[in-house]
Structure 1
Amino acid sequence: MIPAALSVRPYWLLLAAGCVSGCMRVGPDFSPQHERWSEHWSSASIGQVSQQAPQPDMRQWWRVFADRNLESLIDQADANNSDVQIAGLRVLEARAQLGIALAGRYPQVQQASGDLFYAARKRSDGFDPRSSGGYLQYGAGLSLGWELDFWGRFSRAIESADATFFAAQANRDAALVLLHAQIADTYFTLRTAEARLRIARENAQLQKRSFDIAQKLFRSGETDELDLQQAKTQYLGTLSSVPDLESQIVLAGHALAVLMGRPPGPLPELEVQPGRQGVIPLVDHAVLQDVPADLLLRRPDVRAAEYQMAAQSALIGVAKADLYPSVSLLGSLAWSASSLTGSPNTLGLLIGPSVTWNVFDHGKITNNVRVQDARLQQLTLSYQSTVREAAREADDAATALIAALQRDAILNDAQLAAGRSLKLANAIYREGYSDFQRVLDAQRALFAQQDAYIVNRSNAAGSLIALYKALGGGWYSTQPLVDPATRLQMQQRTDWGDLLNEPDAASASPASPSAEPSR
């Protein structure tokens, strides 16, 4: 029987180990590496084309277009897009990796063993199991090995895995931002091609009538061949743009189908709402809920870059812990017995601390610390570059939107003037006061100005989309990290515990790694 003092002492040792564990953490504590300009950044261009208002929320900025078709496309893409689904699975992977790191808080070695042997003696007159004195030898044991987190090796590893987990969430948000911008941009590319196709067909019909008139006049000898050939050239030139625009519509539809997780084919969601055929909406401002500097730093890819810095900073501490002695608490409980008559049963307890120190590593540990530090510096520069690029994208988009808005009124007046010019040219030609060339010039100008007006409207919509994307808008989705079919497949294949059933908080990631609680 084990003495009471001996049976209690291991618990005190475990308690002491828990108190000592994590008392020090080597390596740097992470602090965000924001450049001074980024915290107070502002843009006159963004200020000119934006206003602060609660609605529509930047998370669902596409509602500013009030287009049910676009909203339906985005809902379908959220549920079926492969890139978003992969990003959600990477969040689960990072969560499982965090669980591996959390296991470092507990004894690293927890081994139970058991053995059963049959032994027999060999006599000089041969082997006879019945008279050889065979017996059974059996035993069981439990071994524990607990490396104390004296230098913060495991707590730093948890810190790194925690930041990596939130980086994965931010990357999923970034995938949503990109997806929503691609859907909206491709959708308006398709609508623009449809509007341009309508204009091309209308002008081709108009030019066809002029060509028919020129052909009749030439055959009757009332005009020369030059008018005929010029009318034919202009008509065929306009007609040649129709197949290209039809191809653009089909290709844009294919792109939308793939973004929505479907094979290329018809999209019922593209059915045009009554009264909106060939109309490209003009939205002259972006609705923001915060100042551009804060929106910039909360951009999902910027947050992901900052989380990656935090994860790498913690890895420096993990590497530095190898420079110091490893303090472990070892314990073993073993029991053995035999079927031999009179053999004793034994019960042994072994417990105590162990210290190991890799003194002569020939610079391996030191250089590993340097490697981790160099990687942190690379990520720091990459983060700062990401912020600068984000600012450039936002300013460029706002500048392009301003130009498109200014051109809109001018081009509208120009197409109205071109239409009036064509009417006058036709009237003057019919009265015999001008030649046919002025009619052809007026038709060419009308087609060019109408097409330029639609293209500029498309550029305005694209610039607004780019501005929202550059400021990190559009990361909201009601879809879970893993769709139900995939969830069921994974549960049938692997025991995921409660990881697949926990609330999906990926779209509510905090703004800064420095604000994260340790998980």
Structure 2
Amino acid sequence: MSPFMRPYRIAVLLGALGLSGCMRVGPDFQPQHEAWSEHWSSASITQVTQQDTQPDVRQWWLIFGDQNLERLIAEADANNGDLKIAGLRVLEARAQLGIALAGRYPQVQQVNADALASARKRSDGFNPRSGAFVQYGVGFSIGWELDFWGRFSRAIESADAAFFAAQANRDDALVLLHAQVADTYFTLRVAQARLRIARENAQLQKRSYDIAHKLFKAGESDELDFQQAKTQYLGTLSSIPDLESQIVLAGHALSVLIGRPPGPLPELDVQAGKEGVVPLVDHAVLQDVPADLLLRRPDVRAAEYQMASQSALIGVAKADLYPSVSLLGSLTWTASSLSGSPSTLLFAAGPSVTWNVFDYGRIRNNVRVQDARLQELTVAYQNTVREAAREADDAATSLIAALQRDTVLNDAQSAARRSLTLANTIYREGYSDFQRVLDAQRALFAQEDAYVVNRSNAVGSVIALYKALGGGWDTAQPLVDAATRAQMRKRTDWGDLLDDTTPAAVAPGQTEGPSR
């Protein structure tokens, strides 16, 4: 090779390395926030929320001041199966990111070794001593596709966004888990309160039934009073098994949520004097405006990261439209056992250009496929934001209605209790028939039950509002618990990936990501 060609080839090589990764085809991701979501507000949400620092929206359940609920949520964070799966998917996404990062380095790295034995043949067969020799050699090949068009950098960008999407999905699993635990816990408590009311009213009605039975037997009243008292008593009695079943089923659901097998929860057995207490929380505490909380909702963030990941895949597909430039090199050494045979060392290196010139139809349509998928995810993201806003507004509206009914129903049950007292009094004094007593008992049972059910609706609406605004994504638990980490390390070399070093999330489209 002419000496003046060497600087030229070196310059070409350096130029190729300089261009590698500098030209990235495909779109740069742009968030697709709709104008309304940036400044969204709701009169209903404003009415039932207040700005305060405590409790933090990440631990909103503290607003109920219930230590049993706090213990259940802590146990769910440590043992819930769905949450563990979400944490493992973060690790999976991190490993997928490591695969994408490998594109920065030579893609072909191959070492070959071979040996060949030979001997000359005589008329009576092979003679190992007659001209026998061994030829052997070692070779090393390397191939490095330069990232001219950003194929590998876009793939890294996509995997990076997918990694953050997996983290957001885990946060969303926390939001759903905490809401489910709280909702199921109060379902159990409400069923216990309703059971207490049913049993108390059944006792009242049993006394009336006994009285009506004695009077009928004595011939002092007709059979109608007796049968009506019996009907009402048995009707109330029949509601008790259903409420007991609700308590058991809610306990089973709670057991599974906190990672236990279905069974009783002794710590949630009703305590004397507290079996009828259903809290009334008339507001939610927020540390930010609803619009910002809405866009920070984990499932909304996950949808946006998925868009960013898919946007980068368009660039990966578009890179196939252009020629790929690779640097190839090989080093081979051969030798022989023949006396005086020289060993040889061969080195070869140079560029290689590959271009799928006649495959443009497939490549272009693949680009279109990736673009269509991005648009699908864009629409899905916008739908997710709208649905989140609807859920928050619906929860606030339901809470307002429940709060308005609470005072009315409380007065109604007080009036029903007073009515029963008066009905019993005038019946004993002979100024009224037995039907008025039965009607008063029926009204009391209905109003007391409606009051507790409405309290349940209010509690459920508070939980739904916090869930709709994405509250409750915080936990002290690591991505993977210690026992699972030990099991995985025993099977596979995970390096430091199992260490709990989860980075803070960044906005989709930024280049910052986890440590490489």
From 445, 462, 465, the equivalent of 2:460 is 462
Query: Is it true that 1:334 corresponds to 2:329 in the alignment?
Result: no
* Residue 375 of structure 2: aligned partner: 377
Partner residue in 2 for 1:66: 65
Between 1:147-156 and 1:348-357, the stretch displaced more is 348-357
Pick aligned residue for 1:442 from 415, 418, 440: 440
1:471/1:25 CA distance change after superposition, 3 Å: same
Shift of 1:333: 1.0
**Which stretch has the larger CA shift, 63-72 or 273-282?**
273-282
1:240 paired residue among 238, 245, 264:
238
The Cα shift of 1:124 comes to 4.0
The one-letter code matched in structure 2 to 1:95 is R
Query: For the residues of structure 2 that align with 1:491 and 1:421, how far apart are their CA atoms?
Result: 70
Matched residue SS, 1:355: strand
Residue among 169, 174, 177 paired with 2:175 = 177
Q: Aligned pair count?
A: 512
Alignment-derived partner of residue 168 in structure 1: 166
Assess, with a 3 A threshold, how the Cα gap between structure 1 residues 274 and 166 changes in structure 2: closer, same or farther: farther
CA 1:209–1:265 in structure 2 vs 1: closer, same or farther (change >3 Å)? same
Given candidates 387, 390, 398, the residue that maps to 1:389 is: 387
Is 1:19 the equivalent of 2:18?
A: yes
For 1:514, which of 488, 501, 509 is the aligned residue? 509
Are the structure 2 counterparts of residues 516 and 227 from structure 1 closer, same or farther at C-alpha, using a change threshold of 3 Å? Answer: farther
The superposition leaves residues 258-287 of structure 1 with CA deviations (integer Å, 9 ceiling, x where unpaired) of: 111111112234245675322000000000
Point out the more displaced range, 168-177 or 114-123. Answer: 114-123
Instruction: Tell me the residue number matched to 1:114.
Output: 113
Q: 2: distance between equivalents of 1:257 and 1:101?
A: 40
More displaced 10-residue stretch of structure 1: 232-241 or 17-26? 17-26
Aligned match of 2:190 in 173, 192, 198? 192
Among 274, 277, 286, the residue aligned to 1:276: 274
SS of the residue corresponding to residue 345 of structure 2 reads: strand
CA distance in 1, matches of 2:312, 2:357: 23
Deviation at 1:502, TM superposition (A): 4.0
- Segments of 5+ residues of structure 1 without an aligned counterpart are none
Between the aligned partners of 1:20 and 1:362, the Cα distance in structure 2 is 24
Asked if structure 2 preserves the Cα contact closer than 8 Å seen for 1:10 and 1:351, the reply is no
Task: Provide the residue aligned with 1:93 in structure 2.
Answer: 92
Deviations 1:310-367 (A, max 9, x none): 0000000000000000011111111111111111111111111111100001500000
Instruction: Check 1:116–1:386 CA distance in 2 against 1; reply closer, same or farther (3 A cut).
Output: same
Map 1:222-371 → 2, pairs under 5 A: 222-272=220-270, 276-361=274-359, 363-371=361-369
TM-score computed with the length of structure 1 as normaliser = 0.95
Residue type of the partner of 1:513? P
Q: Does 1:495 align with 2:493?
A: yes
Cα–Cα, structure 1 residues 10 and 474, in superposed 2: closer, same or farther, change >3 Å? Answer: farther
Whole-Å separation in 1 of the counterparts to 2:67 and 2:271: 8
Q: Deviations over 1:20-44 (max 9, x none)?
A: 2101000000011111111110000
Do 1:295 and 1:472's aligned partners in 2 also have CA atoms closer than 8 Å? yes
Secondary structure (helix, strand or coil) at the match of 1:158 reads helix
Offset of residue 138 of structure 1: 1.2
Secondary structure (helix, strand or coil) at the match of 1:514 reads coil
Once the two structures are superposed, residues 156-207 of structure 1 have per-residue CA deviations (whole angstroms, 9 ceiling, x without a partner) of: 0000000000000000111111111111000000000000000000000000
The residue that corresponds to 1:34 in the other structure is 33
Residue by residue over 1:286-325, the C-alpha shift from the partner in whole angstroms, topping out at 9 and shown as x without a partner, is 0011111111111000000000000000000000000000
Question: What's the % identity of the aligned pairs?
Answer: 78
Distance 2:202 2:157 in 1: 66
The answer to whether the Cα contact below 8 Å between 1:253 and 1:264 also exists between their aligned partners in 2 is yes
Specify the alignment match of 2:55 in structure 1. Answer: 56
**Residues 125-156 of structure 1, C-alpha deviation per residue, up to 9 Å, x if partnerless?**
4211122x111111111111000000000000
Contact 2:76 2:257 in 1 (8 A): yes
Kindly provide the CA deviation profile for residues 346-390 of structure 1, in whole angstroms up to 9, marking residues without a partner as x: 111111111110000150000000000000000000000010000
3-state secondary structure, aligned to 1:179: helix
In 2, the alpha carbon distance for the partners of 1:44 and 1:397 equals: 12
Normalised by the length of structure 2, the TM-score is 0.96
- CA deviation after TM superposition for structure 1 residue 16, in Å: 4.8
The residue type equivalent to 1:89 in the other structure is: L
Q: CA deviation at 1:509?
A: 2.9
Secondary structure of the structure 2 residue equivalent to 1:480: coil
Tell me the distance in 2 between the aligned counterparts of 1:337 and 1:122: 22
> Is the counterpart of residue 139 in structure 1 residue 137 in structure 2?
yes
- Contact 2:21–2:153 (CA<8 Å) still a contact in 1? yes
Instruction: Tell me the SS of whatever aligns to 1:287.
Output: strand
For the structure 1 residues 423 and 376, does the alpha-carbon distance in structure 2 shift closer, same or farther, using more than 3 Å as the test? same
Counterpart of 1:517, as a letter, is E
| SS at 2:121 equivalent | coil
- Helix, strand or coil at the partner of 1:401: helix
Work out the CA distance in 1 between the residues paired with 2:266 and 2:217. 49
State the shift of 1:59 in Å. Answer: 0.7
Instruction: Decide whether the 8 Å contact of 1:398 with 1:467 is kept in 2.
Output: yes
2: distance between equivalents of 1:484 and 1:10?
55
Shift of 1:514: 3.3
Residue in structure 2 matched with residue 478 of structure 1 by the alignment: 476
The DSSP-based 3-state class of the residue aligned with 2:187 is: helix
Q: 2:332 and 2:387 mapped to 1: Cα distance? A: 63
Query: Once the two structures are superposed, what CA deviation does each residue of 1:477-505 show, in whole Å capped at 9, x if it has no partner?
Result: 11111111111111101111110014244
Secondary structure of 1:351 counterpart? strand
Report the RMSD for the aligned CA atoms in angstroms.
Answer: 1.9
In structure 2, how many angstroms separate the alpha carbons of the residues matched to 1:14 and 1:216?
110
One-letter code of the match for 2:283?
H
- Do 2:278 and 2:452's aligned partners in 1 also have CA atoms closer than 8 Å? yes
Gapped runs of 5+ residues in structure 2? none
